[in-house]
Each structure stands twice: as structure tokens, then as C-alpha cells.
Amino acid sequence: MDLTVRSNKFQTEKNEPRYLIQYNVFYFLISELWFLSSTARTTLELTTLS
């Protein structure tokens, strides 16, 4: 039984490594910042044009 629990734990760790989760959060923050900056840039261009 202990062996099964340990192998299950190993499977989850192998499928979802901690660095992958950190990378997803990092990527999300970068894309969010990029989206905000591009939106601000578009707004700035629109205000400058008009």
C-alpha cells in the first residue's frame, strides 16, 4: 500500500513539476503586462491622433 501511494505521488510530481507551474505563472504575468502595455500604447496613439 505504501508503495502504491509513493508511486502515485511520483506520478503527480512527474506530470506537474513545480517549475512548470512557476513557468505558467511567469508566462501569464508577462502576457498580461504585454497586453496592458499594448492597450496603453493603442490608447496613447488614438489620443495623439485625435
As a whole number of angstroms, the distance between CA 38 and CA 32 comes to 10
As a whole number of angstroms, the distance between CA 48 and CA 18 comes to 45
Alpha helices in 1-50 (DSSP H): 2-15, 18-49
Percent residues over pLDDT 70 in the chain: 64
pLDDT in tens, 7-26: 666 666 566 677 777 888 89
| Whether the predicted pLDDT of 42 surpasses 80 | yes
As a whole number of angstroms, the distance between CA 44 and CA 20 comes to 36
